[in-house]
Structure 1
Amino acid sequence: MATLNDSHFDLFDLPPTYAIDSTKLDEAYRTVQAQVHPDRFAAAGDAQKRVAMQWATRANEAYQTLRDPLKRATYMLSLRGVHADAENNTAMEPAFLMQQMEWRENIEDAAAAKNVAALEALLGELRDQERMRFEKLAALIDSHADQAASEAVRQLMFIERVASEIGNQIEKLD
């Protein structure tokens, strides 16, 4: 079995690539969980229970990270020493910054007009941008273009945040 310090990919015996076979990930997760589930150690001593809990927690965190494309990309970059977290690194290309401002203005206008159809159209546009950027991100990560991948991650974080805000606006208006 892997150690607690091994990568998420090592834990599940998967190749460290961005494209991931979700079926294999699910199967590997279930296998690891079956081996380390705390219920299996109910009669064990406190130390064994604690280790089982650490492993179960580790498996859950690894699974949640690898199954989410954005978290997986951020994790892979961190393994390479590149930290893409948006709070610490907000540098983005000017064209994307202009696009952000345009989206924000359109959201404000549509929300002020209580125009659900316009908000839904914006959400569709964001989802299209998200799909396109995820495809680009996969190529960037697999080709080790880490700085460009880091910027793509930050852009995707922004898009996800704005899409969530639009969803909340739509819920309020429905």
Structure 2
Amino acid sequence: MQKRNLWVSATKILSRRLRSTSRFSTNLDPKLQSTKVISCSFHHAGESRVSKSSYGGNIFLANYRKNFCSLDENSGRCWNCGVVAVSKPFLSCDSCKSVQPVHASVDYFQIFGLEKAFEIEDTNLEKTYKDWQKKLHPDLVHMKSEKEKEFAAEQSSRVIDAYSTLRKPLSRAIYLLGLEGIHVDEERTVSDPELLAEILDIREAVDEASDSQSLKQIQGQVQEKLEIWSKSFESAFNKKKFEDAVTSIQRMTYYYRINDEIVKKL
């Protein structure tokens, strides 16, 4: 009888300990080396892996992706009133109107309610940008707490960055590759003699142009080239041929620089 009581007590203690760590532990078979799971982030349905921890022999979720949230982070719940978000992205609370902290798992496309794609069909990019700034601009929360003022400044700045990035094809292309973990070195020289010779000829033509009509004619030719390489990037990106996508971006960069020079002279 005494042994039975000791066993029951030990079971109760173990049960309490398991409940206290239920946020982190899983019921997966310890023999499993890794299993894909859905992200706990409200904004980001990414993937992580479950790995065995040496701490207590338990299995814990290990984060192998950048900007992946921890299990105890209520990223979909308002910090001020506690209401669960009903809309994405969760930049401000629909209930109490409080500005929320920045969550890096929300990408620029999500901020504007767009699909993650090179071609943006939504023509209301500027309108959405202005609508967000009406809710997030720091000047509009001057009567709020210092905490919310800080959130507003960060969110407003991020919306500005998102707008500036998505409205231009080149920066949008670079950002898309960045989301795939691919860095683009815009300063890298392209080893294509024909391209370099063409760029040199166009630059000389721009320097020698004496009137706006000549400059606009050259600009039209540059725009045609940009359109060609933009389509080339889109095709490569959609097919996940990222090396070709980088090549297209590097060529787009040359023509964008020439276009900037033309705009300055007009």
Q: TM-score range by the shorter chain?
A: 0.7 to 0.9
- Aligned residue in 1 for 2:157: 57
Q: Aligned-residue CA RMSD in angstroms?
A: 2.4
- Aligned residue in 2 for 1:90: 189
Measure, in 2, the Cα distance between the counterparts of 1:103 and 1:152.
19
The answer to whether structure 1 residue 10 and structure 2 residue 106 are counterparts is no
Over the matched positions of the two proteins, sequence identity in percent amounts to 25
The answer to whether structure 1 residue 36 and structure 2 residue 136 are counterparts is yes
Structure 2 regions of 5+ residues with no counterpart? 1-89, 92-101
CA offsets per residue over residues 117-173 of structure 1, 9 Å max, x none? 54443222112211222222222222222221112112112111112223434x4xx
Task: Choose from 120, 129, 150 the match for 2:246.
Answer: 150
Distance 1:31 1:107, change over 3 A: closer
- Contact 2:236–2:245 (CA<8 Å) still a contact in 1? yes
Measure, in 1, the Cα distance between the counterparts of 2:202 and 2:161.
33
The answer to whether structure 1 residue 102 and structure 2 residue 201 are counterparts is yes
CA offsets per residue over residues 48-84 of structure 1, 9 Å max, x none? 1011111111111112211211111010111112222
Displaced runs of 4 or more, over 4 A: 115-118
- Contact 2:114–2:122 (CA<8 Å) still a contact in 1? no
Distance 1:120 1:48, change over 3 A: closer
- Contact 1:12–1:32 (CA<8 Å) still a contact in 2? no
- Aligned residue in 1 for 2:60: none
- Aligned residue in 2 for 1:138: 234
Measure, in 2, the Cα distance between the counterparts of 1:101 and 1:117.
20
Task: Choose from 6, 23, 41 the match for 2:123.
Answer: 23
Distance 1:118 1:26, change over 3 A: closer
Q: Which has the higher helix share?
A: 1
Which letter maps to 2:189? T
**Highest RCO, 1 vs 2 (Cα 8 Å, sep ≥ 6):** 1
Distance 1:57 1:136, change over 3 A: same
From the CA coordinates, give the structure whose radius of gyration is larger.
Answer: 2
Measure, in 2, the Cα distance between the counterparts of 1:48 and 1:30.
20
- Contact 1:4–1:58 (CA<8 Å) still a contact in 2? no
CA offsets per residue over residues 25-61 of structure 1, 9 Å max, x none? 4454344334323244221111210111111111111
Measure, in 2, the Cα distance between the counterparts of 1:56 and 1:119.
37
Distance 1:155 1:116, change over 3 A: same
Task: Choose from 99, 117, 121 the match for 2:217.
Answer: 121
Measure, in 1, the Cα distance between the counterparts of 2:180 and 2:169.
17
Task: Choose from 25, 46, 52 the match for 2:146.
Answer: 46
Alignment TM-score, normalising by the size of structure 1: 0.80
Q: Which has the higher strand share?
A: 2
Find the residue that maps to 1:150 and give its secondary structure.
helix
Structure 1 regions of 5+ residues with no counterpart? none
